[in-house]
Amino acid sequence: MPQEVAEIVRKYLRHDKKFPHIWCAGCGNGIVLGSLIRAIDLSGVEKDNIVLVSGIGCSGRITVYVDLNTLHVTHGRALSFATGIKLAKDSLKVIVVMGDGDATAIGGNHFIHAARRNMDLTAIIINNQIYGMTGGQYSPTTPYDSKTTTSPYGHIENTFSISELAIAAGASFVARGTVYHTQLLDDAIRLAILKKGFSVVEILSNCHTHYGKLNGMETPVAAMRWFRDHVAVVGKEGALPPGRSAETDEKIRIGVLKNVEKPVYSEEYQKVRDHAKNSLSS
Amino acid sequence: MSAFGSDKKRVLLQGNEAIVEGAIAAGCRFFAGYPITPASEISERMSRRLPQLDGTFIQMEDEIAGMGAVIGASLAGVKSMTATSGPGFSLMQENLGFACMAEVPCVVVNVMRGGPSTGLPTNPSQGDVMQARWGTHGDHPVIVLAVSTVLDCFQITVEAFNMSEKYRVPVVILSDEIVAHTREVVTLPSVGEFEAYNRVSPKMPPEWYIPYADNSMGVPPMAAFGEGYHHHVTGLMHDVRGFPTQRPDEIEALVGRLFRKITQGFHEIQKVETFMMDDAEVAVIAYGSVSRSARRAVLDARRQGLKAGLLKLITLFPFPRHSVEEALQKCRVALVPEMNMGQISREVKRVNQTVSIVKKYNRVDGQLITPQEIYQQLIKI
3-class state of residue A52 by DSSP: strand
CB-CB under 8 Å, B60 with A80? yes
DSSP lists the bridge partners of residue B283 as B309, B334
Q: Phi and psi for B205 in degrees, rounded to 5?
A: -65, 155
**Binary contact (A72, B233; C-beta < 8 A):** yes
ipTM: 0.96
Q: Is the pLDDT of residue B4 over 60?
A: no
Looking at chain A, the whole-number percentage of residues with pLDDT higher than 90 is 88
B290 and B262 co-located in one domain: no
Chain A to chain B Cβ contacts (< 8 Å): 148
Whether residue B201 lies inside any domain: the answer is: no
Residues 230-289 of B with CB under 8 A from A: 230-236, 241, 243-244
Is B276 found in the same domain as B233? no
Is residue B181 located within the same domain as residue B65?
Answer: yes
Residue A113 at interface with chain B, using a CB cutoff of 8 Å? yes
CATH number at residue B324: 3.40.50.920
Q: Tell me whether A82 touches chain B (CB under 8 Å).
A: yes
Both B85 and B121 in one domain: the answer is yes
Beta carbons of B134 and B104 less than 8 angstroms apart: no
Q: Please report, for residues A15, A30, A40, A272, B244, the alpha-carbon distance to residue A10 in angstroms, rounded to integers and kept in the order given.
A: 7, 16, 14, 43, 21
Mutate one of A37, A49, A89 to test the B interface: name it (highest B CB count within 10 A): A89
Question: Domain check: are B66 and B167 in the same one?
Answer: yes
Say if B233 falls within a structural domain.
yes
CB-based contact B232 A72, cutoff 8 Å: yes
- Whether B194 is covered by a domain: the verdict is no
CB contact under 8 Å between A280 and B2, yes or no, is yes
A73 to chain B, any CB pair closer than 8 A? The answer is yes
Query: Which amino acid is it at A226?
Result: W
Q: pLDDT band for A15, please (50, 70, 90 cuts).
A: confident
Task: Measure in Å the smallest separation between the Cα of B298 and chain A Cα atoms.
Answer: 45
Give chain B positions within 8 Å (CB) of A273. 51-52, 54
Q: What is the set of domains in chain A, with CATH numbers?
A: 3-281 (3.40.50.970)
Closest approach of chain A CAs to the CA of B31, in angstroms? 9
Any chain A CB within 8 A of the CB of B68?
yes
What is the Rg, in whole angstroms, of the alpha carbon atoms belonging to chain A?
19
Name the residue among B68, B231, B234 with its Cβ closest to that of A80: B68
Alpha helices in B3-149 (DSSP H): 15-26, 40-52, 63-75, 86-102, 129-134
Q: Which residues of A touch B104 (CB under 8 A)?
A: none
Beta carbons of B73 and A67 less than 8 Å apart: no
CB contact under 8 A, A85 and B30: no
In 3D space, the residue among B62, B73, B67 whose CA is nearest the CA of residue B92 turns out to be B67
What is the Cα–Cα distance from B368 to B340, expressed in whole angstroms? 11
Q: Does the residue B144 lie in any domain?
A: yes
> B72 and A91: CB-CB below 8 Å?
no
What residue numbers bound the domain in which B223 lies?
206-267
pLDDT in tens, A149-190: 999 999 999 999 999 999 999 999 999 999 999 999 999 999
Closest CA in chain A for residue B70: A84
pLDDT tens column, B209-261: 999 999 999 999 999 999 999 999 999 999 999 999 999 999 999 999 999 99
Is residue B98, in this structure, part of any structural domain at all?
yes
* B20/B159 same-domain check: yes
Q: Are B290 and B263 in contact (CB under 8 A)?
A: no
Instruction: State mean pLDDT over B304-309.
Output: 98
Q: How many domains does chain B have?
A: 3
Residues B67, B21, single domain; the answer is yes
- In the listed set B245, B267, B289, which residue is the last one of a domain according to the structure? B267
Q: Cβ(A92)–Cβ(A46) under 8 Å? A: no
Same domain? For B62 and B164 the reply is: yes
Chain B residues closer than 8 Å to A113 by CB = 60-61, 65
Has residue B293 been placed in a domain? yes
Both B110 and B24 in one domain: the answer is: yes
Confidence of residue B355 (pLDDT cuts 50, 70, 90): confident
Q: Is some CB atom of chain B closer than 8 A to the CB atom of A72?
A: yes
Domain end position, chosen among B267, B290, B316: B267
Residue B102 lies in a domain: yes
CA distance A150 to B98: 29
3-state secondary structure string, B35-46? CCCCCHHHHHHH
Shortest alpha-carbon distance between residue B28 and chain A (Å): 11
Assess whether B51 and B121 both reside in one domain: yes
B118 & B136 share domain: yes
- Residue B1 confidence (pLDDT): 43
| B71 and A CB contact within 8 Å | yes
**Concatenated DSSP letters of A31-45:** HHHHHHHHHHHHHT-
Mean pLDDT, residues B25-45 taken together:
98
Whether B276 and B263 share a structural domain: no
* CB proximity A103 to B under 8 Å: no
CB spacing of A63 vs B228 below 8 angstroms? no
Looking at B251, B267, B283, the residue that finishes a domain is B267
CB contacts, 8 Å: A49 with chain B = 226
Neighbours of A91 (CB within 10 A): 8
Under the banding of pLDDT at 50, 70 and 90, the label for residue A246 is: low
Count helices and strands in chain A by DSSP H and E runs:
12, 8
What average pLDDT is seen over chain A?
A: 94
The reported pLDDT for the residue numbered B191 is 82
Q: What local confidence, expressed as pLDDT, does residue A240 receive?
A: 59
Angle separating helix axes A108-117 and B63-75, nearest 10 degrees: 70
Q: Which is higher by pLDDT, A145 or B8? A: A145
Q: Is residue B93 part of a domain?
A: yes
Identify which has the larger pLDDT, A241 or A224: A224
* Amino acid A245: pLDDT: 54
